[in-house]
Structure 1
Amino acid sequence: MEDCRPLGFLIGLPFALIALLISLVGAVIWILGSILSCLCPCCACFSGLANLAVDLIKLPVKVIRWFIHQIPC
């Protein structure tokens, strides 16, 4: 069975572009958090910051999938 939800992709595209910008910020935070956690491994907050940044990096894919599943075939 073919998935026929191109409308969900088109509607979600502007939101995914905004999420892409947020994910770029997340990538910068992840790099900084990784460097800081290597310099000072006693600070556990930097590893949590890196995990939050990874979630921000995955955000565009999650947004597009959510919009695609909201539109019925």
Structure 2
Amino acid sequence: MEDCRPLGFLIGLPFALVALILSLLGAVVWVLGTVLSCLCPCCICFTGLANLAVSLIKLPVKVIKWFIHQIPC
């Protein structure tokens, strides 16, 4: 079903580039959150911050899939 949507992939690339930049930011936040949660395990907010960063890392793939599915076949 996704084979007939190559144009959606190409049009979605600029949005994926922005999402890629956000995912790199998420990777930095994840590393910092992981280090801080290891240093102070009593602060649960750092674990939530690391989970948010992981979702930012997965963002480019989600954006491309969402954009491809928005374009009719």
TM range (shorter): over 0.9
Per-residue deviation, 1:3: 2.1
Alignment of 1:1-73 (within 5 A): 3-73=3-73
Secondary structure in structure 1 of the residue aligned to 2:4: coil
Secondary structure in structure 1 of the residue aligned to 2:3: coil
Contiguous gaps of at least 5 residues in structure 2: none
**Paired residue total:** 73
Which of the two has greater helix per residue? 2
Corresponding letter in the other structure for 2:49: L
Contiguous gaps of at least 5 residues in structure 1: none
Taking structure 1 as the reference length, the TM-score comes to: 0.95
- The alignment-based identity, stated in percent, is 84
Corresponding letter in the other structure for 1:63: V
